[in-house]
Amino acid sequence: MIQRAGADVIAMAGKGGTGKTTLTALLIKYLVNSNMTPVLAVDADANANLNELLGLEVDVTLGEIRDKMKTETPQGMTKNEFMEIHINQAVIEAKGFDLLVMGQPEGPGCYCMANSILAQVMEKLSRNYRYLLVDNEAGMEHLSRLNLRTIHTLFVVSDPSSRGVLTAARIADLTKALQVEVGKKVLIVNRVPEPVPQALDEHVKRAVEQTDLVFGGYVSASDEVFQKEMAQESLLSLPDDSPVVKQAFGIFSRFLKG
């Protein structure tokens, strides 16, 4: 289990196109601004682009290290030692947080042992951090690969549609099938027009009533975020008084302890 006494495990989940990774970058900004550090962020989405929103370059992914372990472990070195050395080298260091990228999913063949070693090394590494933040794909299979069995806070991101809210509820239910214990499941509806459509509000209320989701709040569509992404600039440079930053920070502050 990737956990240590006093540490929080935070996971982000949501189907593609909801702006989940954008909110993950804003969550990192919130944790750093609030001195809730150090943070280890793991980009576990197969379409990995969190590093781009943070202004960071990726040299190697955990998936590539796992593949190399199978054929490139030198004689006299255990596979655990090989993984530990290379994973530590793959850590991208930034101010207040570090980043690791999982990379593409496995190809053909059994990766059970490799994933088991990956989980062991990640558990040891994560003890050096106050928070572990995992940006997941919708299926959240990487939770199993990392041997995550406890999540303190799961933020599930939806777009402003009835189908999006329904999908978010289904994603939250996946944690039960994966046998993951979750402290809080928080629904965030992103890229919402202003004013919030009444029909959307009703769908959200219904989803919260029928599931174990807690409603975190709405985050408005943001031209500032769009312009940053188009210019390939880090979202960490967004001003703190930006409306989208204030909305996101307001949600995070209600569910994360300082």
Instruction: Tell me if residue 76 falls in helix, strand or coil.
Output: coil
Report all structural domains of the chain as residue ranges with CATH numbers, in order of start.
8-255 (3.40.50.300)
Q: Which of 40, 31, 98 is nearest to 256 (CA)?
A: 31
d(CA 25, CA 22): 5
Other CB atoms within a 10 A radius of the CB of residue 211 amount to: 16
Q: What is the mean pLDDT of residues 26-46?
A: 93
pTM score of the predicted model: 0.91
d(CA 78, CA 167): 43
Of 13-17, 176-180, 230-234, where does the model show the most confidence?
230-234
Name the amino acid, one letter, at 153. T
Give tens-digit pLDDT for 120-171: 887 888 889 999 999 987 767 666 667 677 899 999 999 999 999 999 998 8
* Helix, strand, coil share of the chain (percent; to 5): 45, 20, 35
pLDDT on residue 133: 95
Which pLDDT value is given to residue 3? 45
pLDDT of residue 7: 63
Helix axes 79-90, 112-126, angle to 10 degrees: 50
Q: What confidence tier does 58 reach under pLDDT thresholds 50, 70, 90?
A: very high
- Whether the bond between 195 and the residue before it is cis, its omega within 30 degrees of 0, is yes
Give the pLDDT confidence score for residue 113 in this predicted structure: 65
Q: Which residues of 120-149 are buried (b: 16+ CB within 10 A; e: fewer)?
A: ebbbebbeebebbbbbbbbebbbbebbbbe
**Of residues 217 and 181, which shows the higher confidence score?**
217
List CB contacts of 134: < 8 A, sequence separation 6 or more.
9, 10, 11, 12, 41, 42, 44, 142, 143, 146, 148
- Which has more pLDDT, 58 or 114? 58
pLDDT, mean over the chain = 88
Sorting pLDDT into bands at 50, 70 and 90, what band is 188?
very high
- Average pLDDT for 66-76: 89
At 6, is the pLDDT very low, low, confident or very high (cuts 50, 70, 90)?
Answer: very low
Per-residue pLDDT averaged across 25-35, rounded?
A: 97
- pLDDT at res. 247: 98
